[in-house]
Amino acid sequence: MDGFDLRIIDAGGERLPCVVRGPGSARARLLIVPPLFEEMNRTRRLLARLGNALAEAGIATVLPDLPGTGDHEGGTEAMDWARWRAAVAALAAALGAAATLAVRGGALLDDAAGARPRYRLAPVRGAALLRDLLRARAASDAEAGAGISVARLEARLAAGEAIEAAGHVLSPALAAALRAASPAPGRSGDRTAMLDDLPGGDIVLGGPAVWRSAEPAPAEELALARALAADIAQWLASR
Amino acid sequence: MAALADPDRTGRAEAIARAALAAALALPAERAAALAPDTPLFGAMPEMDSMSVASVLAEIEERAGIVIDDDAPLGEAFASFGALTRFIAARLPA
């Protein structure tokens, strides 16, 4: 089942472009809270394969473009932490989502969906994402011979200047929110999947860290999508 | 520097280096397994550029639970797999 719908869903005053997969009659609707920045681009194919595998298991998924990202019509100024959290909250409510599935930086936003059960894949702290963005920018500057260090970029943010990094404009406010953000603590019944045996995981899935690499091995990525889908389906059924 | 000779610490650092390179560069399992202390990295591995160095650092940080500071000697660290292992071992929490 490889079909999907592209829909604009109105929620909380936002018009959110969403990829909707799975049967319309699905008993469980899962709101995917996507990874942030460049990690989302690299994870897009995994999420498509995961959505297809979940659809085969009778589970519908909704994958939104957060304000200011993807096909959302807002520009850079729509990339705003409070707007992202409000969009997750409003979309979860509008869909009547049974649970959230947060991937990487999505775990910094999934608690906005309230009491809904949370499944997380490789959650990450905001400070680590910010460091990655600034390092990527510093690396591209170094390749261009400019030699700008992460510390210099941090200083420019602190002085109120927006920074362009890995194709995204990072405002000082967004950088500050990111730096302070940690995944909300898991509650009883929530589940976290990790690729490796790292602290905080309920299950170790193995497989490629697709959010790191521009070209993950396709066969391993498909295997990861299937393993994830099986674990998510079992988790949902046990609730 | 006694800590650097600790075989357990070196073993952990090597495992982290291998896993981080494999994940960040999407290395096939057999290439990740073949990494030896004298395997050259930056300038020798086709996947390795300054962007992927940033990804490898992020993977190391996530796996080791450490933060690598801005002025760490990266040229030295990425000279070889053995150098990267020593770089990590020196920064691992006890």
Segment B1-47, tens digit of pLDDT? 445 567 789 999 999 999 999 989 988 889 999 999 999 999 898 88
> Which pLDDT does position A146 carry in this prediction?
61
Residue A179 Cα to chain centre, angstroms: 16
No. of helices (H) and no. of strands (E), chain A: 6, 10
Chain B CB contacts of A198 under 8 Å are 62-63
Q: Which helix (H) or strand (E) holds A180?
A: helix A172-180
> Which pLDDT does position B5 carry in this prediction?
63
Of A128, A142, A216, the CB nearest to B26: A216
Name the residue with higher pLDDT: A206 or A191.
Answer: A191
Whether A148 shows a pLDDT value over 90: the answer reads no
> Which pLDDT does position B46 carry in this prediction?
87
Name the residue with higher pLDDT: A179 or A2.
Answer: A179
Query: Which residues of chain A approach chain B closer than 8 Å at the C-beta?
Result: 124, 128, 131-132, 135-136, 138-140, 142-143, 149-151, 195-196, 198-199, 208-209, 212-213, 215-217
Paired strand residues for B80: B40
Q: How far is CA A171 from CA A92, A152, A190, A224, in A?
A: 27, 15, 32, 34
- CA–CA separation, A61 and A13 (whole Å): 21
Subunit contact B65:A199, Cβ cutoff 8 A: yes
> Which pLDDT does position A76 carry in this prediction?
83
Q: Classify strands A14-21 and A59-64 as parallel, antiparallel or unpaired.
A: antiparallel
Contacts of A217 (CB under 8 A, 6+ apart): A208, B26, B28
Subunit contact B51:A136, Cβ cutoff 8 A: yes
Q: Across residues A142-165, what is the average pLDDT?
A: 82
- CA–CA separation, A12 and A87 (whole Å): 7
- CA–CA separation, B16 and B3 (whole Å): 17
> Which pLDDT does position B89 carry in this prediction?
96
> Which pLDDT does position B4 carry in this prediction?
53
Confidence (pTM) = 0.91
Query: Which residues of chain B approach chain A closer than 8 Å at the C-beta?
Result: 19, 23-26, 28, 49-51, 53-55, 57-59, 61-63, 65, 67, 70-71
Q: Across residues A158-179, what is the average pLDDT?
A: 92
**B69-73, long-range: CB < 8 A, 24+ apart:** B70/A149, B70/A150, B70/A151, B71/A149
Tell me the pLDDT of chain A averaged across its residues: 91
Q: Across residues A25-33, what is the average pLDDT?
A: 84
B63 CA: distance to closest CA in chain A (Å): 7
Q: How far is CA A235 from CA A34, A89, A230, in A?
A: 19, 22, 9
> Which pLDDT does position B17 carry in this prediction?
97
- Give A59-80 pLDDT, tens digit per residue: 999 999 999 999 999 888 899 9
Cβ-based burial of B29 (10 A; exposed 0-12, middle 13-18, buried ≥19) = exposed
- Give A76-116 pLDDT, tens digit per residue: 889 999 999 999 999 999 999 999 999 999 999 999 999 99
Q: Is the dihedral of CA A104, A179, A64, B26 positive or negative?
A: negative
- Take residue A180 and report the two structure tokens written for it: 């302070």
Whether A112 contacts A88, CB under 8 Å: yes
> Which pLDDT does position A193 carry in this prediction?
97
| Interface confidence: ipTM more than 0.85 | no
